[in-house]
Chain A
Amino acid sequence: MMAGVLPQIDLMRCILCGRCVQACPTQAVEMLANGPTIVRPDACTYCTACEAICPVGAITCTFEIVWK
């Protein structure tokens, strides 16, 4: 099971194009009535494909940079 951090989706910015749903390799994102939603957070691998494909920058996957 994956822990914690998930891609953040800004629904105010989202244009409902559905590209993130198509790009997700694990089908963790689905298009619901209010917009794309990570319906299976355990399946999300934080691969950042949804962030990369979003044409309006509505999805962000941030990384802290830390020492081991």
Chain B
Amino acid sequence: MDDYLRNSLSTMPLFAGLSEATLGRLSRVAFRRTYAPGMLILLEGAPCESVFFIVTGAVRVYRLSPQGRQQILATLGPGQGFNTAPPFLPEGRTPASVEAIGETTVLAIRQEDFVALARTCADFSWAILQDFAAHLLHLTDLVEDLALRSVRGRLARFLLEQADGAYVTRPWTQDEIAAHLGTVRDVVGRALRSLADAGLLRMERGRIVLLDREGLEAEAGA
């Protein structure tokens, strides 16, 4: 048995509750893959072959509009899974493209092995349900953001989440922020300037410094 696989699996919070027997089965079917920064891991619409769990690094999950505009659905980090839904659907296809942000190592499990584990190991099914629930709540928040908040409000919420370390935190370009917020770079630039003019943040060289939590929370809730 591959000790690296077993150690990687047992240190993931998602799999912390698995029995030794389930961890053993999982480590026999999982395999390791490492992707260079910017490498495409999955392409939207492709047949689902494997599911993935991140060991180190981070990935960007996104969809592209016909005009080429990118909407980032999630930025995922160590311990989080992706492409876990299609195996439960008949002829399920990969729902979104996934790209490595930095060098990223994942554990992959072939679809048929993943389904077999989910059918026969209740503790594994429970862990996957928890992962599904987290994804569902995140996507619910995203729909609320896109449907009900202004770009300025979405930006304020995004900045608070990043500064508070709610998700994977890293330096961002304004294009990447725009892709997260479902808008374009120019609009993000204007929104940043307007928040700066209101005294809620300060733009520095390579840093967006948040100054007023109450003010930003009021913007985020607006």
Listed in ascending order, the chain A residues whose CB lies under 8 Å from chain B are 2-5, 45-46, 48, 51-52, 57, 60-68
CB distance from A64 to the nearest CB of B (A): 5
Asked if B211 and A61 sit within 8 Å, CB to CB, the answer is no
Report if A63-B210 is in contact (Cβ < 8 Å); known contacts: A48-B174, A51-B173, A52-B185. no
Distance in Å: Cβ of B199 to nearest Cβ of chain A: 12
Q: Known interface pairs A52-B185, A60-B173, A61-B173. Does A66 touch B209 (Cβ–Cβ under 8 Å)?
A: yes
CA distance A48 to B185 in the complex (A): 11
Is B7 close to A, CB under 8 A?
no
Complex contact A66–B206 (CB within 8 A): no
**Interface of B toward A, CB cutoff 8 Å:** 159, 162-163, 169, 171-175, 185-186, 189, 202-203, 205-211, 213
Known: A2-B205, A51-B173, A62-B206. A67 touches B163 (CB 8 A): yes
| B171 lies within 8 A of A67 (CB) | no
Considering the chains assembled together, what is the distance between the CA atoms of A62 and B64 in angstroms? 22
Q: Is the interface of A mostly helix, strand, loop or mixed?
A: loop
Name the residue among A46, A61, A65, A67 with the largest chain B CB count within 10 angstroms: A65
- Contacts A5-B205, A5-B206, A46-B206 given; indicate if A63 touches B172 (C-beta within 8 A): yes
